[in-house]
């Protein structure tokens, strides 16, 4: 489905012209319906990899290699083919949902225009489809949310809206870039569970970028461990956990509990988020629905910014 070969990204300093290689010839693939996690510490090149796929790398940068999405080479395709493939087949769920939504337009416009403009769905049908999409991502008071502006809704609610918008386009590949790090811990678990459920339900492929090895292991079929612009190893979560091939991967796992000093509240919060994600995912797997998730956070249903 997606095949990336020898991806090299070189940026140049606008003042001096000095070139720096950011990604050093990475290769990986994502199969139909598969979720691949890009995991690594800050600056390892996870976001830049997504930017190369989306064609939004920094100005003046040079991208080399192959980025092939179902036979379309995104680095060499013509203007129209490239525009259509990126618009129809790719959907980004970024860290901050505010960046994906226009602050002066109600949610309704975001969802409805995505369908009427891009795919010619009639207005009335797009409106009722938008309401169904919101219900589908666990929002109960859909009419109020459709009429709300982004600043009137919580981050968790907005990220659900962005997920609904991404799914409405029926893309081939979801690109999720730390989609829950801007949310509070309880909400993180629910949003990850919704994303995981919807992705599987629609058979979508996904690249999931995160610092959190455990979170990636919970939602991905395979993990690619990145460091300093290089993919060190790729494997199933079990392979990475039980038989890490690289010293860095081992260190990443060993260091995890030591990221915060014992007793630090961030350590407890991170642990709580992981446990809540695992519980929400386990419940989803058990029931085949996100019913538990839906009812789990009344504050989110109110949509109040806390």
Ligand X SMILES: Nc1ncnc2c1ncn2[C@@H]1O[C@H](COP(=O)(O)OP(=O)(O)OP(=O)(O)O)[C@@H](O)[C@H]1O
By CB under 6 A, name the binding residues for ligand X.
11, 22, 40, 42-48, 58, 211
Q: In what order do the strands lie in the sheet with 2-12?
A: 19-30, 2-12, 62-69, 72-73
CB of 208 to ligand X, least distance (A): 12
39 or 74: CB nearest ligand X: 39
CB of 155 to ligand X, least distance (A): 18
40 or 138: CB nearest ligand X: 40
43 or 291: CB nearest ligand X: 43
φ/ψ of 136, rounded to 5, equals: -65, -25
CB of 273 to ligand X, least distance (A): 17
CB of 53 to ligand X, least distance (A): 12
CB of 203 to ligand X, least distance (A): 27
75 or 121: CB nearest ligand X: 75
Give whole-number Cα distances, 263 to 171, 213, 251, 270, 274, in Å: 43, 21, 21, 12, 17
52 or 107: CB nearest ligand X: 52
Which helix or strand (DSSP H or E) is residue 3 part of? strand 2-12
Which contacts (CB < 8 Å, 24+ apart) does range 55-59 have?
Answer: 55/82, 55/86, 57/9, 57/11, 58/11, 59/14
The answer to whether 211 and 39 have CB atoms below 8 angstroms apart is yes
């Amino acid at each position: 489905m997606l095949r990336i070969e020898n991806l090299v990204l070189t940026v140049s300093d606008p003042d001096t012209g000095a070139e720096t290689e950011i990604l050093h010839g990475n290769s990986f693939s994502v199969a139909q319906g598969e979720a691949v996690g890009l995991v690594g510490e800050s600056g390892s090149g996870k976001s830049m990899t997504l930017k190369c796929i989306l064609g939004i790398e920094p100005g003046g940068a040079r991208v080399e290699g192959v980025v092939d999405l179902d036979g379309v080479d995104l680095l060499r395709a013509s203007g129209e083919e490239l525009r259509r493939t990126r618009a129809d087949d790719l959907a980004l769920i970024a860290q901050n949902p505010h960046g994906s939504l226009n602050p002066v337009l109600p949610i309704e416009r975001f969802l409805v225009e995505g369908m009427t403009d891009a795919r010619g769905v009639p207005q009335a049908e797009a409106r009722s489809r938008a309401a169904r999409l919101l219900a589908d991502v666990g929002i109960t008071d859909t009419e109020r949310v459709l009429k709300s502006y982004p600043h009137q809704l919580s981050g968790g609610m907005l990220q659900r809206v962005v997920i609904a918008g991404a799914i409405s386009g029926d893309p081939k590949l979801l690109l999720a870039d730390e989609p829950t790090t801007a949310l509070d811990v309880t909400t993180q678990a629910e949003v990850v569970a919704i994303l995981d459920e919807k992705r599987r339900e629609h058979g979508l492929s996904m690249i999931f970028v995160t610092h959190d090895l455990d979170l990636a292991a919970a939602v991905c079929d395979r993990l690619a461990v990145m460091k300093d612009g290089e993919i060190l190893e790729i494997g199933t979560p079990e392979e990475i956990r039980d038989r890490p091939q690289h010293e860095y991967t081992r260190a990443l796992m060993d260091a995890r509990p030591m990221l915060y000093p014992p007793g630090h509240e961030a350590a407890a919060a991170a642990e709580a988020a992981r446990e809540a994600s695992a519980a929400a995912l386990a419940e989803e797997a058990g029931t085949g629905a996100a019913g538990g998730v839906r009812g789990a956070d009344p504050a989110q249903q109110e949509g109040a910014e806390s």
